[in-house]
């Protein structure tokens, strides 16, 4: 864990120290992932089954790659009514938030008589990657599948690894609740390859979305172009801006909620109060002794944890903007006053009673968010990831007479004669039929 004070270190050095933390994470996965993708592309199910046996220790055949309707129903029946109710609360809130994102088509006729517009059209098939290596994420099933469903995608194919054949029944229950149409027990780069290129069992999809580990992220990067992807999500991160009005234990738990995801996860506290910072550090150490995923959380905190002491809360926001975190918590009395200065964050959590963990499960906005400082230019998963736009132009003779000559002039200027003649031939025909025009 790094403890820095911008007064001692200076703003730029404090920022650079954090950046170094963030950029030293790379695993060499490019070549192994390229090999996995090539073998799935070439050998289809045969490679997919062999790789699943190798990485997830699960002997599987083409006939058992997909979960059956009976397996899904049996898994759902194992889940307690309380958990199904919690799942439903989450699903309804996620549905409602994403429904409000639905865009309107555009259509208007301009002064030259051209009718122009844009139609939003859902994808035909989405591939949903649900991580399952170190922990199962039923919440991520909802966050991936519900926006696709709301957007109107008809085919939702989901891949989830089942190490040693073990699947959390809540993952399957969540998939059923969200309207997933196919579920396959495969993970890692091989799952991404199967959804991108297709195999004998898994038909290719149009876009692959969802978080995953370094192999999944690299595979998405490599298949991009052949299929669409949402973004390349790296390890999760949080920046918590807090003042001494917060309970140090609560802030420590917010930091550890991120650290427990992954050894590579990053949790950063920024506060103007140095005594408060030390209380949070002590609380983190105390909680690490009792948390269930203490090995992962301890490794993450030791490696990537950071506590920054700034001159004031505004400097804290300035630093957060430079870090462009996936999650930003504003644990202060007047979070809205700070939020107006926030320019780069995947999702912001405003106020002492609104921790990230609420947003991870039941808030409504998506928890699949831009990591590794990509919030500078990217946004969280939304229904727009599952839709595309077709623009349209419609015009008759009058409109062509008005704007066509400019097209002809520009086409000649570009040396593209067929373009020019395509327009001028029509203009000539119009002139012939209406000689007095």
Ligand X SMILES: NC(=O)c1ccc[n+]([C@@H]2O[C@H](COP(=O)([O-])OP(=O)(O)OC[C@H]3O[C@@H](n4cnc5c(N)ncnc54)[C@H](O)[C@@H]3O)[C@@H](O)[C@H]2O)c1
Ligand Y SMILES: N[C@H](CO)Cc1c[nH]c[nH+]1
Binding site for ligand Y (CB under 6 A): 137, 139-140, 236, 360, 367, 369
Clarify whether 326 is annotated catalytic. yes
CA-wise closest residue to 320 among 359, 356, 347:
347
Confirm or deny that 13 is annotated as ligand binding: no
Placement of tokens 């140095």 in the chain = 274
State the nearest-atom distance from the C-beta of 53 to ligand Y, in Å: 28
Interaction between residue 262 and Zn ion (CB under 5 A)? no
Confirm or deny that 344 is annotated as ligand binding: no
- Among 213, 246, 298, 372, which residue sits at the site for ligand X (rule: CB under 6 A)? 213
Confirm or deny that 213 is annotated as ligand binding: yes
Q: Are 219 and 33 in contact (CB under 8 A)?
A: yes
79 versus 189: smaller Cβ distance to ligand X: 189
User: Considering only residues 259-278, where is the footprint of ligand X by CB under 6 A?
Assistant: 261-262, 265
Q: Are 180 and 128 in contact (CB under 8 A)?
A: yes
State the nearest-atom distance from the C-beta of 122 to ligand X, in Å: 22
Confirm or deny that 384 is annotated as ligand binding: no
Q: Which stretch binds Zn ion (CB under 5 A): 210-218, 267-275, 292-300, 360-368?
A: 360-368
Quote the strand ranges of 285-400, DSSP E: 306-309, 327-331, 347-350, 387-394
359: enclosing H helix or E strand: helix 356-361
Contacts of 17 (CB under 8 A, 6+ apart): 2, 4, 9, 306
Q: Are 135 and 292 in contact (CB under 8 A)?
A: no
Contacts of 353 (CB under 8 A, 6+ apart): none
State the nearest-atom distance from the C-beta of 33 to ligand X, in Å: 7
- Among 44, 131, 272, 355, which residue sits at the site for ligand X (rule: CB under 6 A)? 131
Residue number of the CB atom closest to ligand X:
188
Confirm or deny that 226 is annotated as ligand binding: no
Q: Which one of ligand X, ligand Y, Zn ion, none interacts with residue 102, CB within 5 to 8 A by kind?
A: none
Structure tokens at 246: 């917060």
Chain-centre distance for alpha carbon 280: 30
Give the chain's end-to-end CA distance (angstroms, integer).
80
State the nearest-atom distance from the C-beta of 321 to Zn ion, in Å: 22
Sign of CA dihedral 327, 329, 334, 337: negative
Q: Which of 98, 182, 260, 327 is catalytic?
A: 327
State the nearest-atom distance from the C-beta of 348 to ligand Y, in Å: 13
Confirm or deny that 98 is annotated as ligand binding: no
- Among 44, 122, 169, 235, which residue sits at the site for ligand X (rule: CB under 6 A)? 235
189 versus 308: smaller Cβ distance to ligand X: 189
Clarify whether 344 is annotated catalytic. no
Report the DSSP beta bridge partners of residue 268: 239, 306
SS (H, E, C) 240-296: EEECCCCCHHHHHHHHHHHHCCCCCCEEEEEECCHHHHHHHHHHHHHHHCCCCCHHH
Q: Are 172 and 75 in contact (CB under 8 A)?
A: yes
State the nearest-atom distance from the C-beta of 144 to Zn ion, in Å: 15
Interaction between residue 301 and ligand X (CB under 6 A)? no
- Among 243, 262, 360, 385, which residue sits at the site for Zn ion (rule: CB under 5 A)? 360
- Alpha-carbon distance 233 to 256, whole Å? 20
Interaction between residue 194 and ligand X (CB under 6 A)? no
Confirm or deny that 139 is annotated as ligand binding: no
Interaction between residue 231 and ligand X (CB under 6 A)? no
Torsion angles phi and psi, residue 44, rounded to 5: 60, -130
Confirm or deny that 200 is annotated as ligand binding: no
Q: Which of 260, 263, 315, 326 is catalytic?
A: 326
Residues that bind ligand X (CB under 6 A): 32, 55-56, 131-135, 137, 140, 161, 187-189, 211-213, 215-216, 233, 235-236, 261-262, 265, 367-369, 371
Tell me which residues touch Zn ion (CB under 5 A): 360
Residues noted as catalytic: 326-327
């Amino acid at each position: 864990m790094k403890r820095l004070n911008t007064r001692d270190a200076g703003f730029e050095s404090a920022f650079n120290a954090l950046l170094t933390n963030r950029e030293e994470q790379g695993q060499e996965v490019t070549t192994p992932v390229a090999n996995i993708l090539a073998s799935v592309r070439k050998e289809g199910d045969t490679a997919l089954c062999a790789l699943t046996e190798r990485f997830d220790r699960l002997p599987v055949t083409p006939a058992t790659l997909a979960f059956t309707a009976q397996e899904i129903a049996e898994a759902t029946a194992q889940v307690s009514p309380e958990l199904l109710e919690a799942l439903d609360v989450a699903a309804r809130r996620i549905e409602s938030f994403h429904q409000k994102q639905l865009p309107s088509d555009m259509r208007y006729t301009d002064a030259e008589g051209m009718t122009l517009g844009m139609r939003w059209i859902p994808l035909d098939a989405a591939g949903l990657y649900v991580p399952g290596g170190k922990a199962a994420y039923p919440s991520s099933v909802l966050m991936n599948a519900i926006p696709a469903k709301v957007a109107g995608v008809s085919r939702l194919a989901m891949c989830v690894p089942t190490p040693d054949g073990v699947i959390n029944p809540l993952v399957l229950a969540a998939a059923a609740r969200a309207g997933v149409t196919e579920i396959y027990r495969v993970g890692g780069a091989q799952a991404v390859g199967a959804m991108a290129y297709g195999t004998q069992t898994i038909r290719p999809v149009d876009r692959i979305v969802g978080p995953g580990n370094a192999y999944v992220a690299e595979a998405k990067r490599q298949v991009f172009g052949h299929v669409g992807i949402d973004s390349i999500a790296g390890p999760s991160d949080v920046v918590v801006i807090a003042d001494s009005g917060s309970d140090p234990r609560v802030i420590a738990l917010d930091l550890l909620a991120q650290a427990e995801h992954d050894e590579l996860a990053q949790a950063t506290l920024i506060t103007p109060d140095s005594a408060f910072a030390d209380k949070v550090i002590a609380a983190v150490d105390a909680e690490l002794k009792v948390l269930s995923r203490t090995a992962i959380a301890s490794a993450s905190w030791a490696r990537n944890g950071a506590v920054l002491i700034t001159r004031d809360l505004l400097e804290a926001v300035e630093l957060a903007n430079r870090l462009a975190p996936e999650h930003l918590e504003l644990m202060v009395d007047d979070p809205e006053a700070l939020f107006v200065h926030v320019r780069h964050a995947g999702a912001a959590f405003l106020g002492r009673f609104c921790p990230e963990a609420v947003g991870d499960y039941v808030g409504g906005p998506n928890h699949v968010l831009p990591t590794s400082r990509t919030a500078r230019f990217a946004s969280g998963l939304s229904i727009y990831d599952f839709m595309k736009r077709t623009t349209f132009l419609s015009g008759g003779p009058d409109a062509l007479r008005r704007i066509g000559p400019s097209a002809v002039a520009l086409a000649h200027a570009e040396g593209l004669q067929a373009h020019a003649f395509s327009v001028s031939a029509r203009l000539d025909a119009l002139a012939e039929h209406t000689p007095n025009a």
